[in-house]
Amino acid sequence: MSLKLTTLNSTFSGPSDQQDAGPIVGIDLGTTNSLVAYVPNVAKDDSTHRQPVIIRSPEGKSLVPSVVSFVHGKPVVGQEAKRHKVRDAEHTVFSVKRLLGRGFDDLKGTANGKMPYRIIPGEGIIRIEVGDRVYTAIEISAAILRELKLNAESALGVPVSRAVITVPAYFNDSQRQATRAAGRLAGFDVLRILNEPTAASLAYGLDRKRQGLIAVFDLGGGTFDVSILKLHDGIFEVLATNGDSLLGGDDLDLAIARTAAVEIQEQFGIDPFADRQLHAGLLETAENTKITLADESKAVLEFRIDSERIYRRTWTIAEFEKLVRPVLERTRQPCLNALKDAQIEPSELSDVVLVGGPTRLKIVQKVASEIFSREPNTSVHPDEVVAAGAAIQADILTGKNKDFLLLDVVPLSLGIETYGGLMSPLIPRNTRIPTVARETFTTFADNQNAVDIHVLQGERERVGDNRSLARFKLKPLQRLPAGLPRIEVTFLIDADGILQVAAKDLKTGNEQSIEVRPSYGLTDAEVEKMLLASLENAESDIAYRRLIDVKNDAQTVLHAAEKRLPDAERLVSAQDTAAIREAIEELKKSLEGTDSAAIRRASNRLNQATLRLAELLFKGVIETTTEGK
Amino acid sequence: MRLNVTDLEKRFYEISRTLHPDRFTTAAAEDRLASVERMTLLNEGYRTLKDSFARLRYFLELAGVSRSGRAVPSALAELWFEVQESMSEHAESAAAKLASFEELFASTSRSHARDVEALEREIDAALEKAEAAGLTHSSDVLPLPELLRKLSEWIQVEIYLRSLARDVQRLKAEGPQCR
């Protein structure tokens, strides 16, 4: 049985949600592709009738490539940007999700350790240099989200300002915060940060017939998650989750690309990774080879190095599987950990649901079946199910779907640094959220005026092996002898899996404000500043978008006219043909510039010039068809 | 002290359906905050009651029994010490030590679990008897100081075994280089 996902075309104008502050969309912000979905209003209130619909882009695609290319410093997103990936590697950013909420050092030895675009070495949050500007992964992600917002708005015909955005379940606090900041920057009120495997389970369990314990094995473009859930009468309870937020389809591409690079070096004496364009091109070729191998038993990888030299290699499925098996084996331990934390045996599972593009590969299905000792379920749409689930959660949050409820957990233990550089856990992993832990702090020296708190996330004992989330200072209100001040700190993990802290002086009962310095994130003030900057730019962005649209339309007119030139010489006067040629040249010239009014004028003139020709051609078509009869 | 886990879960789901923050996203800010607080409390309560060990500790806390008598299984503790010592020695002898330790750990854990279960039954029986005699107030129901004290001791052992299990796991994960 497969999921009933209806796909929506952008020309469709859905039922009006206007009476209640507009629709809430569900967004899957993926490493490779992103999608947006929503649940249309239906007369019937039954949850099984509230089916999610994937919203298509104006080009009719449901997947929007998570690629942002900067053309003359202006962002272009999606399919259009993907075309620039190799041509303009330096100005094109992709797989940015793997950089969200991370530091430069996190990337060592991973698929993203070296990218065709420039990542600036340094402390704190990762920064990307494109041309003469520096961006954070949050801003790049915001550009993608903005594109999805526009797609949703043009499809639904109403402003869309509220969203549920999904993240890998194994995302830590910094990564979740970064995602939420990106949503805000894109102009969304982010109502919920939702775990991807949980979202997938919602779509999977929509028809209510599926109950019991399931495992969701979610291998995406850049991240891997496994969640064990209990489905019971509309309740979706996550029992445990685990994963690897630096493991995904990208790593399989990289394995192929690395093999190719070694062979290219041997055959031609060239290191393709040393050149941005070759690097980006090789990654893309490797990705295509992988995709071919999902359906075929072999694939020919062909890669043009320059005008004379081409590298060619045939990959059999057996060779490919041997190559990527060690990478995929990294999914095993997280699965076993999740089962252990959920305290269940694989035999108790009623289903293992595969999610994510790479699960189309036979070898991934094989590895999953080995881990869980059962054939996995491949019936859900691996690319669309997460966005569909996000839309269902959005529907739950609007209060329209009252039958369903998600109960989720925190993926990683949360703790603080204690004496000796060790982490003292406060909230263990897989605790149901929202949850709270309280800890009382005091001073070690007389008159000490501040206590430093270092918040960590992870499963290791030593501070350095865990993720540093933030630091903050507690300031006792009075100077007192050592050990006398009592400050209680509340660590709350909300339903988004995001940490909030509050402090109270137990002596006075006063709330204390604390300034949190995120280790790999932006402060609220920084996000606010970006938001203002983006509003200032919004107007020029819109003008730019309009220019792109005008240019695209003009290109279509131009191509059609050029194609018909031979017909013109045959059918119309030399004078008319010359006029057409002239109009073509004029349009070409205007297309080089950025004056959209001039382009539109030139485009109209070309249309005028070809009017007579078009008439004759049209007549000709009619005559040939009638003659034929 | 015994509890039907299925009923507990059902009740937890029922209350969750009304309390969960997802039901309050469009509500006023203070209602949203209140739902987070109540759900937090519900989650904590469910966690405590679901796990028999946490439930026992909570029960003892209610009964006002202080934790006492840290009874550590001495044979196990000694062997663990030897394992840690041996980590700096030959890998082979260290592995052998670890294996024999794990064997003893497993058997100790098993017998401990049996003991606790027997004790729980004893307490349950005592409680039922008290109930049958029409005693419902906790101070009346708890003429079992001896049993509770014993239970408290067992819990200390349980805590020790659990922390030992964590240490063993860490040792195996991080290897001898950390010693």
Contact present, A236 and A245 (Cβ < 8 Å):
no
Q: Where are the alpha helices (DSSP H) in A377-505?
A: 385-397
Of A623 and A258, the one with more pLDDT: A258
Rounded distance between C-alpha atoms, residue A65 and residue A93, angstroms: 11
**Selection from A19, A56, A62 nearest residue A41 by Cα:** A19
Query: CA of B82 to nearest chain A CA: how many angstroms apart?
Result: 22
Chain A residues touching residue B44 (CB < 8 angstroms)? 435-436
What is residue B178's predicted lDDT score, i.e. its pLDDT? 38
**Interface residue of A213, A231, A436, A438 to substitute, partner B, most B CBs within 10 Å:** A436
Q: Per the CB < 8 Å rule, is B43 touching A433?
A: yes
How sure is the predictor about A72, in pLDDT bands with cuts at 50, 70 and 90?
Answer: confident
What's the pLDDT score for residue A529?
Answer: 76
The pLDDT score that the predictor gives to residue B97 is 84
Q: Active site includes A582?
A: no
Res A53 pLDDT > 80 = yes
Cβ contacts (< 8 Å) between B27 and chain A: which residues? none
Query: pTM, whole model, 2 decimals?
Result: 0.79
Chain B: closest CA distance from residue A55 (Å): 24
> How large is the average pLDDT for residues A415-435?
91
pLDDT above 90 coverage of chain B, percent: 19
One-letter amino acid of A386: V
Q: What is the pLDDT of residue A183?
A: 95
What pLDDT was estimated at residue B158?
Answer: 83
CA-to-CA distance for B147 and A106, rounded, in angstroms?
54
Provide the pLDDT for residue A1: 27
Q: Which residues of A touch B36 (CB under 8 A)?
A: 434, 492, 494-495
Give one DSSP letter per residue of A324-376, joined into a string: HHHHHGGGHHHHHHHHHHHT--GGG-SEEEEESGGGGSHHHHHHHHHHHTSPP
Predicted local distance difference test score (pLDDT) of residue A11: 23
pLDDT at A110: 59
Mutate to test the interface with A, among B11, B19, B23, B25 (most CBs of A within 10 A): B25
Question: Nearest by CB to A405, which of B20, B43, B170?
Answer: B20
- Choice between B57 and A127, residue whose per-residue pLDDT is larger: A127
Query: With an 8 Å Cβ cutoff, are A405 and B43 in contact?
Result: no
Q: Which residue of B has its CA nearest to A191?
A: B25
B→A interface, C-beta within 8 Å: 13, 16-17, 20-23, 25-26, 36, 39-40, 43-44, 46-47, 170
Of B22, B46, B170, the CB nearest to A396: B22
| CB pair distance less than 8 Å for A435 and B13 | no
Q: What is the pLDDT of residue A6?
A: 25
CA of B137, closest CA in chain A: separation in Å? 32
Q: Which residues of B touch A393 (CB under 8 A)?
A: 22
Tokens standing for residue B93: 């002898």
Instruction: Tell me whether residues A407 and B20 touch, CB distance under 8 A.
Output: yes
Judge whether A563 counts as a catalytic residue.
no
Q: Where are the beta strands (DSSP E) in A411-560?
A: 414-418, 422-427, 435-441, 451-457, 467-474, 487-493, 499-505, 511-512, 516-518
Contact between A198 and A406 under an 8 Å Cβ cutoff? The reply is: yes
Instruction: Give me the pLDDT at residue A334, please.
Output: 96
Interface test with A, best of B36, B168, B172, B177 (most A CBs within 10 A): B36
Element (H, E) at A45: none
* Whether A507 is catalytic: no
Separation CA A44–CA A19 (nearest Å): 18
Kindly list the residues from chain B whose CB atom is less than 8 angstroms away from the CB atom of residue A233: 13
The interface pTM score, or ipTM, of the predicted complex is 0.75
Q: How far apart are CA B124 and CA B113, in angstroms?
A: 16
Angstrom distance (rounded) from CA B17 to CA A403: 9
Question: Which amino acid makes up residue A587?
Answer: L
User: Can you tell me whether residue A76 is helix, strand or coil?
Assistant: strand
Asked if A45 and A204 touch (Cβ cutoff 8 Å), the reply is no
Which residue of chain A is at minimal alpha-carbon distance from B173? A460
Q: Tell me which chain B residues have a C-beta less than 8 angstroms from the C-beta of A405.
A: 13, 16-17, 20, 22-23
CA pair distance A255, A248, nearest whole angstrom: 11
Residue scoring higher pLDDT (A318 or A510): A318
Q: Which chain A residue has its CA at the smallest distance from B39's CA?
A: A434
Token pair 């970006």 is at which residue? Answer: A530
A190-225 pLDDT per residue, tens: 999 999 999 999 999 987 678 899 999 999 999 999
pLDDT tens across A163-178, in order? 999 999 999 999 999 9
Indicate whether A109 pLDDT > 70.
no
Position A47 pLDDT exceeds 90: no
Q: Is the pLDDT of residue A628 over 50?
A: no
The answer to whether the beta carbons of residues A54 and A193 sit under 8 Å apart is no
pLDDT at A141 over 80: yes
Q: How confident is the model at residue A7, as a pLDDT? A: 23
Output A3 or A266, whichever has higher pLDDT: A266
Integer Cα distance of A160 and A455 in angstroms? 36
Q: Residue A379: what pLDDT? A: 92
Q: Is the pLDDT of residue B90 over 80?
A: no
Q: Using an 8 Å Cβ cutoff, are A272 and A278 in contact? A: yes
Model confidence at A4: pLDDT above 50? no
Reported confidence tier of residue A514, pLDDT bands at 50, 70, 90? confident
* CB-neighbour burial class of residue A319 (10 A; exposed 0-12, middle 13-18, buried 19+): middle
Q: Could you give the 3-state DSSP secondary structure of residue A520?
A: coil
Residues of chain A found within 8 Å of residue B21, distances taken between Cβ atoms: 434, 494-495
Pair of tokens at residue A22: 């507009």
A593 pLDDT band, cuts 50/70/90, is: confident
What digits encode the pLDDT tens for the residues A544-580? 666 777 787 788 888 888 888 888 888 888 888 888 8
CA dihedral A533→A536→A538→A539, nearest 10 degrees, is -160
Shortest distance between the Cα of A336 and any Cα of chain B, in A, equals: 15
Question: Mean of the pLDDT values across residues A230-241?
Answer: 95
How close B25 comes to chain A (CA, Å)? 6
Picking from A393, A461, A494, the nearest residue to B36 by CB comes out as A494
Choose the catalytic residue: A17, A88, A139, A196.
A196
Name which of A232, A237, A406 is nearest B22 (Cβ-Cβ): A406
**Average pLDDT for chain B:** 81
Residue A77: what pLDDT? 95
Q: Which of A393, A407, A494 sits opposite B16 (nearest CB)?
A: A407
Q: Is B25–A405 a contact, with Cβ atoms under 8 angstroms apart?
A: no
| Contact residues, chain A to chain B, C-beta under 8 Å | 191-192, 232-233, 235, 237, 393, 396-399, 405-407, 431-436, 461, 492, 494-495
pLDDT in tens, A347-362: 999 999 999 999 999 9
Say whether B25 and A192 touch across the interface (CB within 8 A).
Answer: yes
A28 is catalytic: yes
Q: Are strands A516-518 and A467-474 parallel, antiparallel or unpaired?
A: antiparallel
Per-residue confidence (pLDDT) for residue A391, from 0 to 100: 97
Structure confidence at residue B41 as a pLDDT band (50, 70, 90)? very high
B150: pLDDT strictly greater than 60: yes
| Across A63-91, average pLDDT | 91
Which of A275-289, A520-534, A555-569 bottoms out in mean pLDDT, i.e. has the lowest? A520-534
Tell if the CB–CB gap between B16 and A235 is shorter than 8 Å.
yes
H-type alpha helices, chain B: 5-19, 29-50, 52-63, 74-86, 91-132, 138-141, 145-174
Nearest residue of chain B to residue A189 (CA atoms) = B25
- Chain A residue closest to B40 (CA)? A435
Q: Is A601 exposed, middle or buried (0-12, 13-18, 19+ CB in 10 A)?
A: middle
For residue A414, give the amino acid letter.
L
Q: Which pLDDT does position A3 carry in this prediction?
A: 27
Which residue reads 């970064």 in tokens? A178
Residues of chain B with Cβ-Cβ distance to A236 below 8 Å are none
Between chains, do B21 and A494 touch, taking CB under 8 Å as contact? yes
Q: What is the pLDDT of residue A282?
A: 95
pLDDT score of A210: 80
- Summary mean pLDDT of chain A: 87
For residue B164, pLDDT beyond 70: yes
Q: Which of A17, A88, A218, A417 is catalytic?
A: A218
